[in-house]
Chain A
Amino acid sequence: MGRLRTITRRTFLIGSAAIVGGVAFGTYMAKRPIKNPLLSDLEEGEAAITPHIKIDATGITLITPRADKGQGAYSMQARLIAEELDIDPATATITPGMPGPAYYNGAVMEESTPFPAYEQGALAETVRKFMHVPAKLLAMQITGGSSTVPDGFVKLRMAGAIARETLKEAAAQQTGIARDQLNTENGAVLLPDGQRIAYTDLATAAANIEPVTDVDLRPKSAWKFLGKPTQRLDMSAKCTGTEQYGIDFKLEGMVHAAVRANPGIGAGVESYDATEAETMRGVQKVLPINNGVAVIADNTWRAWRAAEAIDIKWEPGPYPASTANIFTQIENVLDADEHRDHRQRDEGDVEKALKNGELFEATYKVPYLAHAPMEPMNATVLVTDEQCEIWTGTQIPLFVRDHAAKLTGLDKDNVLVYVQPMGGSFGHKLEDTHVLQAVEIAMAMKGTAVKLVWSREEDMTHDYLRPGAVAKGRGTVIDGKVATFDLSVAQSALLPDWFGRLMDMSIPGPDATITTGAWDQPFAIPNYRVTGYRAPTMVPISSWRSVGASGNGFFHDTLLDELILKASADPLAERIRLCLDDTSRKVLEKVGEMSNWDSPLMGPNKGRGVAFCLSFGVPTAIVTEVTNTEAGIKIDKVYAVVDVGDVLDPVNLEAQVFGGVIFGMAHAMNCETTFENYAAQQNNYHAFEGMRLYQVPDIEVVALSNAQKIRGIGEPGVPPAAPSLGNAIFAATGQRIRELPFNKQINFV
Chain B
Amino acid sequence: MKVSHMEITVNDQTYSVDVEPEMPLLWVLRDELGITGPKYGCGIAQCGACTVHVNGYAVRSCQLAVGDLGSSKVSTIEGLGTPDSLHVVQESWIEHQVAQCGYCQSGQIMQAASLLSTNPNPSDDQIDAAMSGNLCRCGTYPRIKAAVKSAAKKLQGS
Pairing of A with B: yes
Is A709 an interface residue when CB atoms closer than 8 A count as contact? Answer: no
Chain A residues numbered 226-262 whose CB sits less than 8 Å from any CB in chain B: 231-232, 234-245, 247-248, 250, 256
Q: Closest chain A residue to B45 by CB distance?
A: A686
Is B97 an interface residue when CB atoms closer than 8 A count as contact? Answer: yes
How far apart are B27's CB and chain A's nearest CB, in angstroms?
Answer: 4
Do residues B139 and A666 form an inter-chain contact, with CB atoms below 8 A?
yes
How far apart are A69's CB and chain B's nearest CB, in angstroms?
Answer: 6
Is A526 an interface residue when CB atoms closer than 8 A count as contact? Answer: no
Is A374 an interface residue when CB atoms closer than 8 A count as contact? Answer: yes
Chain A residues numbered 518-548 whose CB sits less than 8 Å from any CB in chain B: none
Do residues A374 and B39 form an inter-chain contact, with CB atoms below 8 A?
yes
Q: Which residues of B contact A666 (CB under 8 A)?
A: 139
Q: Size range of the interface on A?
A: 35 or more
Is B56 an interface residue when CB atoms closer than 8 A count as contact? Answer: no
Q: Closest chain A residue to B86 by CB distance?
A: A240
Do residues B94 and A241 form an inter-chain contact, with CB atoms below 8 A?
no
Q: Which residues of B contact A684 (CB under 8 A)?
A: 42-44, 46
Do residues A655 and B140 form an inter-chain contact, with CB atoms below 8 A?
yes
How far apart are B134's CB and chain A's nearest CB, in angstroms?
Answer: 7
Bitwise interface map of A from 685 to 710 toward B, beta carbon under 8 Å scored 1, else 0: 11001111110101100000000000
Is A39 an interface residue when CB atoms closer than 8 A count as contact? Answer: no
User: Complex Cα distance A402/B94, Å?
Assistant: 39
Do residues A693 and B39 form an inter-chain contact, with CB atoms below 8 A?
no
CB within 8 Å for A281 and B128 given contacts A423-B103, A696-B145: no
Do residues B143 and A658 form an inter-chain contact, with CB atoms below 8 A?
yes
How far apart are A720's CB and chain B's nearest CB, in angstroms?
Answer: 15
User: Complex Cα distance A426/B101, Å?
Assistant: 11
Q: Which residues of B contact A231 (CB under 8 A)?
A: 94, 97
Do residues A453 and B40 form an inter-chain contact, with CB atoms below 8 A?
yes
Is B141 an interface residue when CB atoms closer than 8 A count as contact? Answer: yes
23 A–B contacts, CB within 8 A, in A order:
A70-B102, A236-B94, A239-B90, A239-B94, A242-B82, A247-B36, A247-B39, A281-B3, A300-B30, A300-B31, A374-B39, A374-B47, A375-B39, A375-B101, A424-B103, A456-B43, A658-B140, A684-B42, A686-B42, A689-B46, A692-B132, A692-B135, A693-B134
Is A663 an interface residue when CB atoms closer than 8 A count as contact? Answer: yes
SS class, residues of chain B in contact with chain A: loop
Q: Which residues of B contact A250 (CB under 8 A)?
A: 34
Do residues A240 and B102 form an inter-chain contact, with CB atoms below 8 A?
no
CB within 8 Å for A686 and B103 given contacts A281-B20, A300-B30: no
User: Complex Cα distance A242/B83, Å?
Assistant: 9
Interchain CB contact (< 8 A) of A662 among B47, B78, B104, B141: B141
Do residues B1 and A281 form an inter-chain contact, with CB atoms below 8 A?
yes
CB within 8 Å for A241 and B42 given contacts A658-B143, A663-B139: no
Do residues B81 and A240 form an inter-chain contact, with CB atoms below 8 A?
yes
Is B6 an interface residue when CB atoms closer than 8 A count as contact? Answer: no
- Ordered nearest first, which 4 A-B pairs have the shortest CB separation? A70-B101, A241-B37, A423-B103, A238-B102
Q: Closest chain B residue to A371 by CB distance?
A: B137
User: Complex Cα distance A68/B24, Å?
Assistant: 30
Q: Size range of the interface on B?
A: 35 or more
Q: Which residues of B contact A242 (CB under 8 A)?
A: 37, 78, 82-83
User: Complex Cα distance A445/B135, Å?
Assistant: 36
Most buried by B among A243, A248, A698: A243
Is B23 an interface residue when CB atoms closer than 8 A count as contact? Answer: yes
CB within 8 Å for A238 and B141 given contacts A301-B23, A376-B40: no
CB within 8 Å for A693 and B99 given contacts A240-B77, A685-B42: no
Q: Closest chain A residue to B1 by CB distance?
A: A281
Do residues B101 and A424 form an inter-chain contact, with CB atoms below 8 A?
yes
Interchain CB contact (< 8 A) of B139 among A235, A651, A691: A691
Q: Which residues of B contact A236 (CB under 8 A)?
A: 83, 94
Q: Closest chain A residue to B125 by CB distance?
A: A694
Interchain CB contact (< 8 A) of A240 among B20, B83, B127, B138: B83
Q: Closest chain B residue to A281 by CB distance?
A: B1
Q: Which residues of A contact B78 (CB under 8 A)?
A: 240-242
Do residues B139 and A660 form an inter-chain contact, with CB atoms below 8 A?
yes
Bitwise interface map of A from 486 to 508 toward B, beta carbon under 8 Å scored 1, else 0: 00000000000000000000000
CB within 8 Å for A374 and B41 given contacts A240-B81, A652-B97, A686-B46: yes
Do residues A372 and B132 form an inter-chain contact, with CB atoms below 8 A?
no
Most buried by B among A302, A422, A424: A424
Is A166 an interface residue when CB atoms closer than 8 A count as contact? Answer: no
Do residues A659 and B83 form an inter-chain contact, with CB atoms below 8 A?
no
Interchain CB contact (< 8 A) of B27 among A281, A300, A690: A300
Q: Closest chain B residue to A423 by CB distance?
A: B103
Q: Closest chain A residue to B82 by CB distance?
A: A240
User: Complex Cα distance A369/B136, Å?
Assistant: 17
Q: Which residues of A contact B109 (CB under 8 A)?
A: 239
Chain B residues numbered 11-61 whose CB sits less than 8 Å from any CB in chain A: 19-20, 23-24, 27, 30-32, 34, 36-44, 46-47, 49
Q: Which residues of A contact B72 (CB under 8 A)?
A: none
Is B131 an interface residue when CB atoms closer than 8 A count as contact? Answer: yes
How far apart are A61's CB and chain B's nearest CB, in angstroms?
Answer: 21
Do residues B39 and A423 form an inter-chain contact, with CB atoms below 8 A?
yes
How far apart are A264's CB and chain B's nearest CB, in angstroms?
Answer: 23
Bitwise interface map of B from 58 to 83 toward A, beta carbon under 8 Å scored 1, else 0: 00000000000000000011101111
